[in-house]
Structure 1
């Protein structure tokens, strides 16, 4: 059953709102220490903890409006809940930072397993929205697998060698911008593999 269509603006607000709210909360809380339940938490950890219910609420609204969530959205929210919980439980911000590495790394691994089988799991997820030949999907999947692996390595380098401020900015703006630019370039480069909609002549 296909989902209901909603305004692209509303969709973007629901998808991009939680990371932006996390960024704003972090900027506001980063220099503070909070005593909660007898334990001291840094502003980063409090902001990370707040991010979890905000993301859950955002996706619940998106699901309510559209009737569906993508597999990537479900996987990402599970990772956020698990690693957000570990961050608070162990009072250690490294878990929240490692989440990004694991998300990108697992995406690369899953797509890579499909490629070894001669299949594109990416096509299974996205072919409904982007009609393309099998050859096109295989090329895009190879490239995206390498790109996700590079992002996972990049995240490890960033959080292990740079400040928390730098990581939050790169996580909120840098990685999403790189993803947007990469996909835009790939769509342009793979135009000859696109399948035209044949249902236009009535």
Structure 2
């Protein structure tokens, strides 16, 4: 469920982007609705609201959520300040790259791989399986970031659609694949035999 919280602001971004540009009156102010810049403003506001609400409820945010919020504020803010959508197009590739770097770094720094820190409280797996899962997440983030970068600057007419639904589809496919992979190895979590050989 946590993986899909990030898509709430993106869905609102998509809806506003697809609206025909119009001027609306709100609290005595004229606001332009529709198009990339008003959608970017909604993305920022929705991100602050969503993650602010999570923080109020949980009294904490995960590091990835802080990073996502910061990237939204930085890249979205620069986009609005300079009136240049190029910076927003860079948000997903840069963010995915940072996530990949974080997962990769955990192979050399810290006592546990990042994926084990995230999921180890729920399941127990042999170290080799954690290593493969961590590598899979690195590959996923690199692929997702590269795909977003390619579409954003090659197929500019559909980059918003891909940013929202392409990213969602990639995440769903990857998580389903991870679920099937984990199902094959859950028996390896037997406390009486904590480090069996992998079937692979």
Q: Is the 8 Å Cα contact of residues 116 and 130 (structure 2) preserved in structure 1?
A: yes
Note the C-alpha offset of 1:97.
1.0
CA gap 1:73/1:169 in 2 versus in 1, 3 angstroms: same
Residues 42-81 of structure 1 aligned to structure 2 (within 5 Å): 43-81=35-73
Note the C-alpha offset of 1:104.
0.6
CA distance in 2, matches of 1:114, 1:58: 28
Note the C-alpha offset of 1:15.
4.7
C-alpha RMSD of matched pairs (Å): 2.9
SS in 1 for 2:106: helix
Gaps of 5+ in 1: 1-7, 35-39
Does structure 1 residue 150 correspond to structure 2 residue 143?
yes
SS in 2 for 1:128: coil
Q: Is the 8 Å Cα contact of residues 93 and 145 (structure 2) preserved in structure 1?
A: yes
1:113 pairs with one of 100, 105, 123: 105
CA distance in 2, matches of 1:170, 1:65: 31
1:86 pairs with one of 78, 85, 90: 78
Aligned residues: 182
1:19 pairs with one of 10, 14, 38: 10
Equivalent in the alignment of 1:37: none
The runs of at least 4 aligned residues of structure 1 exceeding 4 Å deviation read 11-15, 31-34, 116-119
Equivalent in the alignment of 2:153: 160
TM-score, normalised with respect to structure 1: 0.77
Q: Is the 8 Å Cα contact of residues 14 and 161 (structure 2) preserved in structure 1?
A: yes
SS in 2 for 1:107: helix
TM-score, normalised with respect to structure 2: 0.78
Note the C-alpha offset of 1:175.
1.1
1:123 pairs with one of 116, 125, 136: 116
Equivalent in the alignment of 2:167: 175
SS in 2 for 1:115: coil
Gaps of 5+ in 2: 25-31, 193-200
2:93 pairs with one of 86, 93, 101: 101
